[in-house]
């Protein structure tokens, strides 16, 4: 049996998907405000974020945040469309301590690396702006 190398996902762009991305970013910005005002606020000071790419027909998507302490936080959410407006509702996520210290064949690390490599937007730890990632 021949196993082919994985191929890059083909995510399309459209005005509708742009609305979905905007709704996701709005949700993630509010999420960060909440995290930066919580008990572990200092760990969220210099965070990197990745909005994982998705198709315009997807009902859910997710982001990953990498905190200054090395913990990776998985943040899934659902898209809700009502009267032509798209909003986002959070879904319970989880965190993985020291993600990059895990073995390269660890399932969490494999999923994490694949998803951040397919990110559509990135929040660097030196800015508060979600930048587009060119493919």
Provide the CB-side half-sphere exposure for 88 (13 A, CA). 23
Give the pLDDT of the chain (135 residues) as one tens digit per residue.
777 666 555 567 889 999 999 999 999 999 999 998 988 888 888 899 999 999 999 999 999 999 988 899 999 999 999 988 999 999 999 999 999 899 999 998 999 999 999 899 999 766 678 888 754
For residues 47 and 125, the answer to whether their CB atoms sit within 8 Å is yes
pLDDT at 113: 94
pLDDT at 11: 65
pLDDT at 14: 86
pLDDT at 46: 84
Q: What's the CA gap between 30 and 49, in Å, rounded?
A: 13
Q: How many CB atoms lie within 10 A of CB 129?
A: 10
pTM here is 0.86
Classify the phi-psi angles of 90: left when phi > 0, otherwise alpha if psi is within -120 to 50, otherwise beta: beta
For residues 20 and 79, the answer to whether their CB atoms sit within 8 Å is yes
């Amino acid at each position: 049996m021949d196993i082919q190398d994985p191929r890059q996902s083909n995510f399309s762009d459209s005005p509708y998907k742009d609305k979905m991305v905007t709704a996701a970013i709005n949700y993630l910005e509010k999420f960060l405000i909440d995290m930066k005002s919580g008990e572990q606020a200092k760990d969220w000071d210099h965070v990197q974020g990745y909005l994982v790419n998705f198709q315009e027909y997807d009902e859910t998507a997710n982001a990953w945040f990498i905190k200054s302490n090395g913990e990776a936080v998985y943040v899934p959410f659902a898209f809700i469309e009502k009267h032509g407006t798209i909003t986002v509702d959070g879904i319970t996520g989880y965190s993985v301590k020291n993600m990059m210290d895990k073995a390269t064949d660890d399932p969490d690390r494999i999923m994490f690396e694949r998803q951040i490599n397919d990110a559509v937007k990135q929040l660097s730890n030196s800015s508060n702006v979600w930048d587009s990632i060119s493919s």
